[in-house]
Amino acid sequence: MPSVVVMTEIREFRIAIPQADLDDLADRLDRTRWAAQLPGGRARGVEVAWLREWAAYWRDGFDWRAQEARLNAFPQFMTEIDGLDVHFLHVRSQDPDATALLLVHGWPNSFVEFVAVVEHLRHFHLVIPSIPGFAFSEAPRERFTVADAGRMFATLMDRLGYGRYGVQGGDLGAYLAPEVAKAAPEHVVGVYVNGGLGFPTEDDDLTDDERQTLSWMAQWSSGSVDHHSLLRVAPQTFAHAWNDSPVGLLAWMLQKFREFAVTVELPEQAIDRDLLLVNAALYWFTGTSGSSSWFMYDNERFAWPIGQDLVPTGVYSGPPGIRRLAERHNRVVHWPEDNPGGHFVAMEEPVVFAKDLSTFLGGLR
């Protein structure tokens, strides 16, 4: 029988968006067919006036080439794992004996989630992959699970020669990071998540105080778009619009980032506006608004991440998660109560995030 060839080559990669794509984006922004503003303002979604401001800045104020150069300042690579090309940043510490750290982004984010925090984590060897179906990583061609992604990233760390490393994840990353530990518990020092562990559900036996937390969570979710249901049922339907209209894609991104930036009125009050647009632009240029939803459309219903009990777990900020619920499935050793920030803390609070993550991993050495 013919032998199976396993590709293990690591190739250098640089972002180089063709000028024709930039010209096409500008033309589409110029030709936007604007919707009328509905009564009710924010209660109806992203307001026309606010979206117009963002679109105008994207068209005439945002400098993609400068941001492209900023991203290309980080060493980037591509390698094939399980038949898919995987893109990643690999930023080595000046200390050859430094601990390696795998940073896993969320949705609707990208590796851009960690751009602002890299300089504060230089004491680690950083590996920052694009999840398959996001940005420059190839999209899965068949059913793909968070366990598949976890095994893929464990393979990546092994290929890079790291025998021991920490793993961080938030949002979608909070599902993937524990899967890396499950795939390679003998290599993972610890798993650190932004949040998402120990969230109460109606199925849990809760105290009165814990039921208040559940009530708050239900109140918050009732005012947000249920993207899990939307993308579980019809990701292809919405991808047609997001792939054709940059303003449509931008509106979707602003909707979700405004919902996730829970500490401020507008996401740009917590996250650098250029970083938000770099993220949206990456989805636009790579056409990944549909393929990035793979982890939703193969699920029957939404469920909070459970975690793992094979290696120690740290959490950036416990509430609204409940520690006793998280400890049913995790060996929690780090659970601060009052770290600042909203959902994407590496973008909102890079200094505090880096310090807390370093404290967690430092305690495991």
The answer on pLDDT for 309 being more than 70 is: yes
Q: What is the mean pLDDT of the chain?
A: 94
DSSP-derived secondary structure for 10-52: EEE------HHHHHHHHHHHHT--PPPPPTTGGGGSS-HHHHH
Cα–Cα distance measured from residue 77 to residue 88, given in angstroms and rounded to the nearest whole number: 5
Strand partners, 128: 89
H helix runs in the chain, sequence order: 19-30, 48-60, 64-72, 146-159, 172-183, 208-222, 227-233, 235-244, 246-260, 273-286, 294-297, 323-326, 345-348, 350-362
- Edge-first strand order for the sheet with 125-129 is 10-12, 76-81, 84-91, 125-129, 100-104, 165-169, 188-193, 312-315, 331-334
Q: CA-to-CA distance for 81 and 90, rounded, in angstroms?
A: 16
- Residue 173 above 60 pLDDT? yes
Q: Map out the domains of the chain with their CATH numbers.
A: 14-70+220-303 (no CATH), 75-199+307-365 (3.40.50.1820)
Q: Which residues pair with 332 in a beta bridge?
A: 313
**Is pLDDT at 69 greater than 80 in this prediction?**
yes
Calculate the alpha carbon distances from 44 to 36, 54, 216, 224, 256 in Å. Answer: 12, 18, 21, 11, 14
Q: Taking residues 306-328, what's their average pLDDT?
A: 93
Q: Look at strands 165-169 and 188-193 and give their pairing.
A: parallel
β-partners of residue 80 are: 85
The pLDDT value recorded for residue 5 is: 53
Instruction: Give per-residue pLDDT as tens, 8-26.
Output: 899 999 999 999 999 999 9
> What is the per-residue pLDDT across 217-269, written as a single tens digit (0 to 9) for each?
777 676 789 999 999 999 999 999 999 999 999 999 999 999 999 999 999 99
Predicted confidence band of residue 6 (pLDDT cuts 50, 70, 90): low
Residues 199-222, mean pLDDT to the nearest whole number: 79
